[in-house]
Structure 1
Amino acid sequence: MTPAARLSAAIELIETIDDQRVPAAKALKEWGTAHRFAGSGDRAAISGLVWDVLRRRASIAWIMESDTARARLLGMLKLERGLDADAIAALCDGSRFAPAPITEAERSALTSNSLAKAPAHVAGDYPEWLDPYFAEVFADDRVAEATAMASRAPLDLRVNTLKAKPEKVLASIAHLGATPTRWSPIGLRIELGADARNPGIHAEEAFIKGQIEVQDEGSQLAALLSAAKPGEQVIDLCAGAGGKTLALAAQMQGKGRLIATDHDKRQLAPIHERLSRAGIHNCDVRTPKGEGDALSDIRSSADLVMIDAPCTGTGTWRRNPDAKWRMRPGALEIRLKDQAEVLDRAAALVKPGGRIAYITCSVLAEENGDRVRAFIGRHGDFSVEKPANVINGLGERAYLFSRAVLISDEGLLMTPRRTDTDGFFVSVLRRSA
């Protein structure tokens, strides 16, 4: 397909997403199935165009003074891809499979309009109802923070230290252009261009042998900051597919007792195969049955309970940009209730002197510091570990990391702008001895 034909396909897909109200990933998959003539490079390029439009939807509509699929695509080429009006016109020349020529109104918008007077939620590309929440956390920096959250994320890998050392894995996947991550000592990063295909990590020998897992650097750091130690009893209370469970097991060096569970047994489905590939033998996966408590035999005995809390996912918008436009206030209210419940459940599992690592992939104070304060108010025998002490677990990287993250009395917040990771909040809560 020509570059112009890819633009036409992207416009068609955006119209489908709008008209049928389907998730972008589903629409892209169905389009690929229906257009098998399109090669993998074409599909990757078209996907990149669609995702970039979704990332910048509000600012594009402001620039173009129109919210049609075509207008959004043209505006994205200016704002995200840096093309000028002439370059865009060259692609939209009305030839076979190309978009129709740009109009005078479109050329004027592309040439003259800017975001200089746009409201914060428009310039930052997030729903207007979230503006007070972003202002509470980021104040005048909210546009810059949200703009970084609208960028494309790199592909991060975590080295499984039970099976390999980072330098060995780095050499084995050098052909993918991987480099060490900035903060995580066990992370590798592959930068991806606008039209780049995700590399076939699952076909790499290092992945097949269990030496690497796909995991954002922020998620790696969240697990590292929990400071799980060999010989401890550790519970991953919201284990899901097991990403942080695997990270905890590596920190524990295969020693001690690791229990993984989740209220939704469907989320646990992939964890068994992942544990086997990673060479983890000290993990007990407990699948909930009916209304029974999978941890009914455990009370006040865990050294560490990790809570990868159910949340709105605002910190992961780089990877799921259409989610932000589908988010509604009611979703936040539900998550706040879920978070309070899982924190209270964790409190009953921690032994005196033990700790809870409360983690969200959200940047909203309501899900982060507010939930921690409310928890402390209900459980006076818990206190917040000083974030500076928690960060010290990163060793020689701790000082610079502490300068980058947003620190509060309740914990620390990573963001794409500050740490070049997904948005993660981490708070460690210790029970009095």
Structure 2
Amino acid sequence: MTPAARLQAAIDLLDAIIAAARDGGPAADTLIARYFRERRYAGSKDRRAVRDHVYAAIRRAGDRPDDGRAALVGLARERPDLAVLFDGSPHAPAPIDPAEPGAPAGAVPGWIAPLLAAPVEQDALLGRAPIDLRVNRLKATPADVAPLFPQAQPVPGLPDALRLPEGTAVEQGEAWALGLVEVQDAGSQVLGAACGARPGMTVIDLCAGAGGKTLALAAAMGGKGRLIAADTNRARLARLSPRAQRAGAISIETLLLDEGHEAQGLEPLIGQADVVLIDAPCSGTGTWRRNPEARWRLTAARLDRLVATQARILDFAAPLLAPGGRLVYAVCALTDREGRDQVDGFLTRHPGWRAVQGAVGVGRAHGRGWLLTPGHDGTDGFFFATLVHG
């Protein structure tokens, strides 16, 4: 492929990604992989260059562009090396008309910017995320693992965390295969630590998904006690079992809940839990470094639905706690509606509950919870709060 043909390929891909973002279609990575499976003639350098063009355009445009050409015209107006490739040659994009509109630059969609928590450094949401590891204490110690990753750096405040350069292929290595480490953002590790899980406790991971935080809780509990991973999505929950086997966390229970009727499925656990973790469904605004195209998928209506779901989960989770237990509510989101305001609403609806704040080594106090941001903490963005009764 010529450099100009690579640019046209990026425009074609961006057209597909923009349409998928609008209509709820596949993620960008899926569309890119599919595109090149159908074009075996493209070499590794071609694929890398096209992918770089696509993600440069995605990261630059906060609001969803009208089409792929507008996305790359906007980028080309800042990049003379790209502008010259709009030359109209075979397989190349047509020349740029001086009056042609290009997608404007922006860190976040205009409609959501006023909703973000005040301390969020919006430009940091466009950066590239590093690879964070959590040492699995069921099988190893940080001292055992550190020599296997000579490029790794410690993460202040998190003794089991190691940070690697973006793009490191951890899952092809022996340490991962043996279950010595898990790939887990440092922010997620903070949430696990905030739970205060210990051996002998009964702990419920209420929105467990594929179980990343469940495995961190298992390690904190040393395999002793009762740990229940619950979710309404069968496919996501099914991914936990092989991960748990690899990590040596063989005593985890799984509980598939019926969406909309979760309270009934949880009735046997009422009053039983020492810790309930709610890593609630959310806008994912804190993960835009990893999924920049997600900015183009989020809508005000979807945010409304997520906020309602979060409140409902908090309400049916509260009865699960034993006296003295702690409810840890978390979202990988940076809007106050999903974080600070959600906790305030819960405390209004549930007299006798209160939020407690302990130092976590990173982040900032925010409302009655804690806020982690990429710009301030170098982690994915999270809000979390610890709630207790009495």
TM over 0.5: yes
**CA shift for structure 1 position 169:** 2.4
Aligned match of 2:253 in 277, 284, 288?
A: 284
Give the whole-Å Cα distance in 1 for the aligned partners of 2:49 and 2:184. 23
Q: Which residue of 2 aligns with 1:128?
A: 110
Cα contact 1:233–1:302 (8 A) shared by 2: yes
Give the whole-Å Cα distance in 1 for the aligned partners of 2:306 and 2:354. 23
| Farther-moved stretch of structure 1 (150-159 vs 353-362) | 150-159
Q: Which residue of 2 aligns with 1:51?
A: 55
Matches within 5 A, 1:4-403: 4-18=4-18, 22-23=25-26, 24-58=28-62, 69-76=68-75, 83=79, 85=80, 87-89=81-83, 91=85, 99=93, 124-134=106-116, 137-138=117-118, 145-174=121-150, 177-192=151-166, 198-288=167-257, 293-386=264-357, 389-391=358-360, 398=361, 401=362
Give the whole-Å Cα distance in 2 for the aligned partners of 1:95 and 1:289. 56
Cα contact 1:179–1:188 (8 A) shared by 2: yes
Amino acid at match of 1:207: W
| Farther-moved stretch of structure 1 (243-252 vs 9-18) | 9-18
Cα contact 2:155–2:162 (8 A) shared by 1: yes
TM-score between the two structures when normalised by the length of structure 2: 0.88
**CA shift for structure 1 position 409:** 3.4
Give the whole-Å Cα distance in 2 for the aligned partners of 1:152 and 1:191. 10
SS in 2 for 1:417: helix
Cα distance change, pair 59–362 in 1 and its aligned pair in 2 (3 A): closer
Amino acid at match of 1:420: G
Give the whole-Å Cα distance in 1 for the aligned partners of 2:156 and 2:37. 38
SS in 2 for 1:185: strand
Give the whole-Å Cα distance in 1 for the aligned partners of 2:67 and 2:257. 46
Q: Which residue of 2 aligns with 1:427?
A: 385
**CA shift for structure 1 position 241:** 0.4
Two-structure CA RMSD over aligned residues (Å):
2.8
SS in 1 for 2:69: helix
Matched, 1:417 2:375: yes
**CA shift for structure 1 position 255:** 1.8
| Farther-moved stretch of structure 1 (327-336 vs 352-361) | 327-336
Cα distance change, pair 259–59 in 1 and its aligned pair in 2 (3 A): closer
TM-score between the two structures when normalised by the length of structure 1: 0.80
In percent, how many aligned pairs have the same letter?
42
Cα distance change, pair 17–301 in 1 and its aligned pair in 2 (3 A): closer
User: Which structure: greater helix fraction?
Assistant: 1
**CA shift for structure 1 position 340:** 1.3
Give the whole-Å Cα distance in 1 for the aligned partners of 2:220 and 2:87. 57
| Farther-moved stretch of structure 1 (316-325 vs 236-245) | 316-325
Give the whole-Å Cα distance in 1 for the aligned partners of 2:161 and 2:2. 37
What CA deviation, in whole Å up to 9, does each residue of 1:53-101 have, x standing for no partner? Answer: 112214897xxxxx6533422543675xxx4x2x335555666655556
Cα contact 2:371–2:384 (8 A) shared by 1: yes
Uncovered stretches (5+) of structure 2, i.e. residues with no partner: none
Give the whole-Å Cα distance in 1 for the aligned partners of 2:353 and 2:193. 21
**CA shift for structure 1 position 281:** 2.6
Give the whole-Å Cα distance in 2 for the aligned partners of 1:13 and 1:2. 16
Amino acid at match of 1:54: I
**CA shift for structure 1 position 274:** 0.7
| Farther-moved stretch of structure 1 (47-56 vs 178-187) | 178-187
Cα contact 1:261–1:294 (8 A) shared by 2: no
Give the whole-Å Cα distance in 2 for the aligned partners of 1:213 and 1:74. 40
Cα contact 2:4–2:86 (8 A) shared by 1: yes
Cα distance change, pair 167–307 in 1 and its aligned pair in 2 (3 A): same
Amino acid at match of 2:240: I
Give the whole-Å Cα distance in 1 for the aligned partners of 2:75 and 2:370. 33
What CA deviation, in whole Å up to 9, does each residue of 1:295-332 have, x standing for no partner? Answer: 32222121110000111111111122222112111111
Cα contact 1:304–1:356 (8 A) shared by 2: yes
| Farther-moved stretch of structure 1 (87-96 vs 418-427) | 87-96
| Farther-moved stretch of structure 1 (375-384 vs 239-248) | 375-384
SS in 2 for 1:241: coil
Cα contact 1:148–1:416 (8 A) shared by 2: yes
**CA shift for structure 1 position 428:** 0.5
**CA shift for structure 1 position 170:** 3.1
**CA shift for structure 1 position 259:** 0.9
Give the whole-Å Cα distance in 1 for the aligned partners of 2:149 and 2:111. 44
Q: What is the number of equivalent residue pairs in this alignment? A: 384
